[in-house]
Amino acid sequence: MADEQVRWIRRYRAAPEAAVQLVCLPHAGGSASYYRPMAMALFPAVEVLAVQYPGRQDRVNEPYIGDFAELTERTLAAVRPELERPVALFGHSMGALLAFEVAKRLEAEGIEPLALFASGGRPPGRPVRHAHTATDEELISEIAALAGTDKRLLDSEDMRVLFLPALRGDYRMMGTYRFDGPRVACPVVALTGDNDDLVSVDDAAAWAGHTTGRFDLHVFSGGHFYLADQWAGVGEVLTKSLGAHVPTGTG
């Protein structure tokens, strides 16, 4: 595997015999390791390929990508050589928009994803919050309110130095996102928490307008990071949505 693929793609539970590959795209400030529970929950029927963006964790010394279109193209370039079986995409928050854009480009190349799972994200065309001008303390307060980050990390000055630049950089980059109109042909499955302060159920339902295929909506108990307590339930939604491609009784 080329060095570029090693840097971008993480397999926390390799599953070479899996019927489906699932490309997972992290939220703003997030990293590939967020999807480790997903990899464990779906093994061995689905192989999770978690994307690691530059500028975080073991890529912290690499420059951030400051343009959403560039992140899309570089993610696609990293993912494309890894696709050996039918593929689906899963993105949370910012990752949902990125998954949508990657799906469009795969379809343009003749690769139609089995499904696009848009989790905790507003659909294209709906405004998103760009908090890159907030102070460090304001960002910390916002993250704490979303309950998606270990409080020990938020309280540690050393850890703040590592993750706040990535979060701020991603928020800044989100301001460069431009929705150009085309829909995807693959099925779209929207997932959200019923107490999400950033994404309403109405926002999640609006993903229906961005596919010419089937649409489903699943609402879980929880906030923006409902996934932390719902990995098993999310796994059930994924395996059911992927249908005949995933053996019964997995996930």
**Catalytic site residues?**
93, 224
In order of 33, 73, 90, 95, the CA distances from 60 in angstroms are 14, 20, 23, 19
DSSP lists the bridge partners of residue 25 as 91
Sheet of strand 188-193: strand arrangement:
9-10, 46-51, 20-25, 87-92, 116-119, 188-193, 215-220
Please state, in angstroms and rounded to a whole number, the distance separating the CA atoms of residues 195 and 15: 34
Element (H, E) at 217: strand 215-220
Please state, in angstroms and rounded to a whole number, the distance separating the CA atoms of residues 151 and 144: 7
Contact 88, 117 (CB under 8 A): yes
